């Protein structure tokens, strides 16, 4: 079954009705470990940030974080947590395809998890271009890409992916630094997601 994933109402309804199967309810272990091993503070962008467990954690560690989500419900949840925990973070309620140009060439890292698989497949190349645009010259995108085991005909979201196709789609804007199964992937997703670390191409 397919849904109007380009409508903010669809996503608001998901949060209102607790139809949020992508939501771990905690910081993603892979990204917590990554953050805990950073040796200095960075500017980090999180698209499709949802309830914000990951960006709020990054910001709590002193990083300059911008979190974007299409759903006002998700944004309200994230803002509530940020205020409650007194975390300094830039939270934006926006369609990622309509980001303000003042965000371009601004970030050291993009952290991708469950956003790429949630957007309409026909917009994937546009998404990749936008992520390249907002990164600094030597910026990097780190993602957990899923679902690998879903049949394309089953629709979405989440929409199926393949590792080879993801790497091929990113190749106009990014080089692959690493692609692997990650030991810290949560048990239900171990075989269904791939950790891929990209670096923005130098000539862009």
- Residue 150: what pLDDT? 76
Please work out, in degrees rounded to the nearest 5, the angle formed at the alpha carbon of residue 63 by the alpha carbons of 58 and 69. 55
Phi, psi of 53 (to 5 degrees): -60, -45
Q: Is residue 1 part of a domain?
A: no
CA distance 173 to 141: 11
- Cβ neighbours of 171 (radius 10 Å): 13
Q: Does residue 108 have a pLDDT over 90? A: yes
**200 lies in some domain:** no
Tell which wins on pLDDT, 129 or 8: 129
- Give residue 3's pLDDT band: very low, low, confident or very high (50, 70, 90): low
In the prediction, which pLDDT does 1 show? 45
Q: How far apart are CA 128 and CA 81, in angstroms?
A: 29
The range of the structural domain enclosing residue 75 comes to 8-19+27-195
Q: Is 201 part of any domain? A: no
Tell me: the pLDDT tens digits for 134-192? 999 999 999 999 988 877 777 778 888 899 999 999 999 999 999 999 999 988 888 99
CA distance 54 to 81: 12
Residue 202 maps to a domain: no
Q: What is the CATH number of the domain that holds 167?
A: 3.40.50.150
| Tens-place pLDDT, residues 11-54 | 788 878 887 777 788 999 999 999 999 999 999 999 999 999 99
Q: How confident is the model at residue 204 (pLDDT cuts 50, 70, 90)?
A: low
pLDDT at 41: 97
140 assigned to some structural domain: yes
- Domain count of the fold of the chain: 1
Do the domain assignments include residue 149?
yes
Q: Does a structural domain hold residue 2?
A: no
């Amino acid at each position: 079954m397919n849904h109007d994933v380009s409508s903010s109402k669809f996503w608001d309804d998901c949060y209102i009705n607790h139809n949020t199967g992508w939501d771990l309810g905690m910081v993603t272990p892979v990204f917590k470990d990554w953050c805990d091993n950073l040796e200095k503070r960075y500017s980090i962008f999180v698209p499709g940030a949802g309830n914000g467990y990951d960006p709020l954690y990054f910001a709590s560690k002193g990083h300059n974080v911008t979190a974007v989500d299409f759903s006002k419900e998700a944004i309200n949840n994230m803002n509530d947590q940020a205020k409650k925990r007194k975390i300094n973070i830039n939270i934006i309620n926006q369609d990622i395809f309509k980001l303000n140009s003042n965000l371009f060439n601004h970030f050291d890292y993009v952290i991708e998890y469950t956003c790429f698989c949630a957007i309409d497949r026909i917009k994937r190349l546009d998404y990749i271009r936008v992520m390249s645009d907002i990164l600094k010259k030597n910026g990097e995108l780190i993602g957990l890409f899923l679902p690998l085991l879903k049949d394309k005909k089953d629709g979405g979201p989440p929409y199926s992916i393949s590792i080879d196709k993801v790497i091929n789609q990113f190749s106009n804007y990014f080089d692959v630094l690493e692609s692997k199964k990650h030991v810290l992937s949560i048990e239900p997703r171990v075989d269904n997601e791939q950790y891929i670390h990209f670096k923005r191409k130098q000539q862009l």
